[in-house]
Structure formats: C-alpha cells, structure tokens
Amino acid sequence: MRKMMTLLLISGSVIVCWIALTVVAQMEGPEKLEVIESDRKINKALLVYNPDLFYNLDEQVCESIAAGLLAEGWSSTIATVAAAKKLNDTSFNLFVFCANTYNWAPDRPTSAFIETHSGLKGKNVIAITLGSGSTKKAQQQLEEKIREKEARLLESWVFWLMRPNDPSRSDEQNVKVALEKAHSLGQRIAQVISNE
C-alpha cells in the first residue's frame, strides 16, 4: 500500500510539473523585431517565431535563413509573434513560420498567428518545425494550418536539437549543421522565387 501511494504521489507530481511547464512554454513571448535591409530592396520576407524558453534555435534558424536571403539580395524582417502581430506591411514576397514542437504539436502562438493572419492567401510560405527529435506530427499540423489559409507552401523543413540534422555529419555540432542548412535554404528559396 505504501509503494502504491508513493507511486501515485510521484506520478501526480510529474503530471503537475508537465502541465505547468507546458503552460509556461506555450505562452506568447516578448516582442522582438529585427529588420535586415538589402541594397536591392526588391524582395522581402517576414520570418515569424515564438521564442522557446530553453534554447533559441528558433531565432538562430530565422537569422540563418535571413542571411541566406540577404546573400541573394532580399530584405527580411525577423519578428516574434508578439511583434509580428503589430506589423501592417502586407508586401512580403515570402513568409517563413518557425514553430517549436510542444506535446507533438506546433506551438500555440505561432499556430494562432497563422490562423488569424488575413494576408496569406496565395503567398509563398516556408514551414519550419523545430524540436528535440520527434516532430513529424507537429510538422504535419503546421503544414495543414498553412494550407487551410490557401497559402502556397513551397517547402517544409525540420531542424532538431538532439536528433542529427544530417546523419552524414553526425560528428559535427547539431545546431551548426541546422544553421548551415537553414542558410542554404534561404539562398535557394530566394533564387527559386526570383526566377519565377
């Protein structure tokens, strides 16, 4: 009987901690906005993320994609969800939504931003799903939210903190590999859209 009570107490504590951690992690983060201007000022992208409490892979991936876009002459605005809500500019040629995975789903603030954004129909969009390693369901949900807005989903990528981002480069730092791949993605997508 004592073992059963101890087990119930431990299980209950774990569940309460999990719920509390989920609630805190799913809160909308602070406003942060960074504008990266290109001399050409022809094409521009909006990259949106909700800051993760534990590791800023989301912000780093957005910055790397923006650097890749800049290498091709694009300007970018990198914004947290809180900052992106206040933007009135609708002239973006590309939207990048970078969602963290919590409980096998894309984070709520990023999802809600996509669901309520009125200017995505027909727009070019890249979906980025981040997580420790189990992101398949979250990626599918993020893609579906984008499709429901009748946006043009160009590509969907996943970057992980723990799972190798490139199995052939498992001896390198995983985050470094993710950021290099994100930079290449930015360059390639800029070229594709510019050539259309």
Domains located in the chain, CATH noted: 30-194 (3.40.50.360)
* H or E element at residue 105: strand 105-106
Q: Are 58 and 81 in contact (CB under 8 A)?
A: no
With 50 as the cut, is the pLDDT of residue 6 above it?
Answer: yes
Whole-angstrom distance, CA of residue 120 vs CA of residue 151: 5
DSSP 194: H
Q: What does the block give as tokens for 12?
A: 């209950």
Confidence (pLDDT) at 20: 46
Confidence (pLDDT) at 21: 53
Give the whole-number percent of the chain exceeding pLDDT 90: 65
With 90 as the cut, is the pLDDT of residue 106 above it?
Answer: yes
Whole-angstrom distance, CA of residue 184 vs CA of residue 119: 27
Q: What does the block give as tokens for 58?
A: 């989301």
> Taking the model in full, what pTM does it have?
0.87
Confidence (pLDDT) at 161: 87
Q: What does the block give as tokens for 177?
A: 């590999």
Task: Give just the sign of the alpha carbon dihedral 22, 158, 185, 192.
Answer: negative
